[in-house]
Amino acid sequence: MAAERNPLLEDFVFPPFDVIEPKHIRPAFRSLLAKLESDLVELETTVEPTWPKLVEPLEKIIDRLSVVWGIVNHLNSVKDSPELRSAIEEVQPAKVEFQLRLGQSKPIYNAFRAIRESSDWEALNDARKRIVEAQIKEAVLNGVSLEDNKREYFNEIQQELEKLSQKFEENILDSTKQFEKLITDKKDIEGLPATALAMAAEMALSKGHKDATAENGPWVLTLDAPSYRSVMQHARNRSLREEVYRSYVARASSGDHNNTPIIARILKLKLEKAKLLGYNNYAEVSMEMKMATINKAEELIEDLRSASWNAAIQDMEDLENLAKAQDAIEANDLKQWDINFWGERLRELKYDINEIPYLWSSSAQKTDFILILHDLDGGNHFLIFATKKSPFGQANYGYWYLLLAEEDALTAARKTSSFQIEELRPFFSLPKVINGLFNLAKMLFEIDVEPADGLAPVWNNDVKFYCVKDSLGIPIAYFYFDPYARPSEKRGGAWMDVVFGRGSTFSCDGASPRLPIAHIVCNQTPPMGDKPSLMTFREVETVFHEFGHALQHMLTKQDESLVSGSRGIEWDAVELASQFMENWCYQR
C-alpha cells in the first residue's frame, strides 16, 4: 500500500488548508527539517560570497520553513484544537533548534561579511545591500558570536521563550472561552442594541438553550470582542459592565490559565538574553531592528502625554458632567467600566447636536423642556427635548431626544432615547464596506480586487478568497479574508500575515516572479440569520487597517524575497500603510 501523501510537503500554488490535519504535522516536520538540515550542510560546504552561491540557496531554506510553519501557525490561530496544540508542542523544539542552527551559521555569516567588505559592495543595488546588512545584524542578534557555554545557554533561553510564548497565547484563548454569562432577565441587559441581543441569543442557542431569541432570551454574553464591546458601550446595568470588564482584564491571570508567572519568566529570560549579547536590557536588543532609539521612543511618549493631558482631563470632566446630568450614581466616581458607556452617550449627544440643523423655539430656556424645531430636507419637523438640568448651549447636555413633533413627548422619548451610533450598522454591511474599500483601492492604486472563491482551498466556509489585478487585468497578488469572530477556535484581535512573498527565486517559469499571497483575519460581528454582517464603525476601521498591511505586502514590485512586501521593514514603520488606509474611513 502506498504511503499516505502529506499535504504539508506537497508542491502547491495555494496551501491545501482544507485537508491539513493535526496528524500531518509531526511527520511533515520530521521530513522537512531533515531535508533542510541536509540543504544547510550543503550550503555551508559550498558557500561563496556571491548571490547565486549564498543568498539564493539560503532564500530557499528560509522560505520553505517559513511557509510550512506559517501554515501550521495560522491554523493554530484560526482553528485551534487540543490535537493541533499537541502536535505543535511536539515539533516546536526541533523547529527552533534548526532556526538557531541556521541563524548561528558562521560560514553563512562570514560570507555575508565578505560581501559587505568586498570591492563589489557599491555595485549592489539598494535591495541587496539591505539584505546583506540585515542578515549580518540578525546573525549577531541570533548569537552567532557567542561561544560554547554562552551559546548553549542562549539556545536554551530561546527554546524556553518559544514554549512560554505559545503557552501565553493558549492561556489567553482558553480563559476568554471560559467566561460565559447567562442572562434570563431582559432588564439586566437593557440598553444593548438589537445586533448584540441577536448575537447573544445565537450564542445561547449554541450552548443548548433551544428557545433563545433576541427578543425574549435567554442570552449568553462572552468576552469575544463584539460581545464585550457592546456591553461596555451600551449596557445600562453598571454591575454587569463591572463584571464583564473585570473578567476581561483579568483573563489568564489566575487558576489553570495563569500568565502571571509566565510574564515574569519571559521578562527574566529576555534580560538574560540581552546581557549575553552584550546589551544592558532587552529594549536595546529590540531597537537594533527598528528605526527609533530608546531615547527617541521615550521622547515621543512624553510628547504624546503632554499634548493629550489637558484634553484627557476635559474629556473626563465632560463624562462626569453628563453622568451627573443623568443622576447616575457613579457620576462622582467613574470607574474603568463606566468610561466607554458614558463616552458612547456623549458621542450620541454630540452627533445629534452637531449633525442636525436646528432653529431655536421662542420658549427655550423657559420651560421644563427645551423645544427645538427642525426642518430636514423635506419639511419633516422634529423636536429635541432635554431637562433644565442640562440647558442647551452648555458643554454638557445630558440626553437629547430626537422625535416626531406629533408624538407624545414621553412615548417618543422612550422610543428614541436609545438612538446610538449602533444605528449606523445597516449602512456598514460587510458587502457595502468591502465594495467601498475595493473601489478606493482602485482609485488610489489602479488595481482591481475580484472574488476568486473556489480557486484556493480555505479553512472555514466563511473565508473569502480574492485576486488582485493590475490595470491591464494581470494578476499580481492574492489574499484570504476571514472576517468573523469564532470564539471556540479563533484567537482575538485582527491581523495580516504572509503566506507567500513575492520573489524571483521561486519563479515557476523562470521569468515571472512568484506572486505574493496574504491572509487578513478579523473578529467582527458575524451575520445574523439572513442578514449580512452589520459592522460598527470601529470594525470598518479595522478592515481598512488590515487591508493596508496586506496592500503593502501585495503591491510590492521588489523581486528579492527577503525584502519584498512587508518583509525586511523596520517594525516601527510597518504601521504606516495600515494607518494610511484607515484614515480614508474619515474622508468625506
Find, among 476, 475, 474, 453, the residue nearest to 464 by Cα: 453
- The verdict on whether 169 is a catalytic residue reads no
pLDDT digits (tens, 9 = 90+) for 453-497: 999 999 999 999 999 999 999 999 999 999 999 888 998 899 999
Express the helix, strand and coil content of the chain in percent, nearest 5 each: 55, 10, 30
pLDDT tier, 422 (very low <50, low <70, confident <90, very high otherwise): low
Contact present, 224 and 206 (Cβ < 8 Å): no
pLDDT at 367 over 90: no
Q: How far apart are CA 385 and CA 368, in angstroms?
A: 9
pLDDT digits (tens, 9 = 90+) for 101-135: 999 999 999 999 999 999 999 999 999 999 999 99
pLDDT tier, 413 (very low <50, low <70, confident <90, very high otherwise): very low
pLDDT tier, 530 (very low <50, low <70, confident <90, very high otherwise): confident
Long-range contacts of the stretch 186-192 (C-beta < 8 A, 24+): 186/216, 186/217, 187/237, 188/237, 188/240, 189/219, 189/221, 189/231, 189/235, 189/237, 189/240, 190/235, 190/236, 190/237, 191/234, 191/235, 191/236, 191/237, 191/418, 192/230, 192/231, 192/234, 192/235
State the catalytic residue, choosing from 348, 546, 560, 582: 546
pLDDT at 385 over 50: no
Long-range contacts of the stretch 52-60 (C-beta < 8 A, 24+): 54/108, 54/111, 54/112, 54/115, 55/128, 55/131, 55/562, 56/505, 58/108, 59/503, 59/505, 59/561, 59/562, 60/505, 60/506
Q: With residue 131 as reference, give the H or E element that holds it.
A: helix 126-141
Contact present, 583 and 548 (Cβ < 8 Å): no
Cα dihedral: 329, 335, 341, 346 (round 10): 80
The residue whose grid cell reads 517594525 is 571
Task: Give the DSSP letter of residue 532.
Answer: P
> Residues of the chain with pLDDT > 70: what percent?
87
Find, among 392, 377, 403, the residue nearest to 325 by Cα: 392
Cell numbers at 52, concatenated: 547565486
Model-level pTM? 0.82
pLDDT at 370 over 50: no
pLDDT digits (tens, 9 = 90+) for 8-36: 999 999 999 999 999 999 999 999 999 99
pLDDT at 368 over 50: no
Domains defined along the chain, listed by start? 7-174+259-296 (1.10.1370.40), 180-254 (no CATH), 308-419 (no CATH), 425-586 (1.10.1370.40)
pLDDT of 10: 93
Pick from 258-262, 365-369, 565-569: least confident: 365-369
Q: How far apart are CA 26 and CA 19, in angstroms?
A: 15
pLDDT tier, 300 (very low <50, low <70, confident <90, very high otherwise): very high
pLDDT at 353 over 70: no
Strand partners, 387: 369
pLDDT digits (tens, 9 = 90+) for 191-207: 998 889 999 999 999 99
Task: Give the DSSP letter of residue 291.
Answer: S
Mean pLDDT of 224-253: 94
Of 301-310, 404-413, 559-568, the range with the highest mean pLDDT is: 301-310
pLDDT of 588: 66
DSSP 391-431: -BTBS-----EEEETTS-HHHHHHHHTT--GGGGGGGGBHH
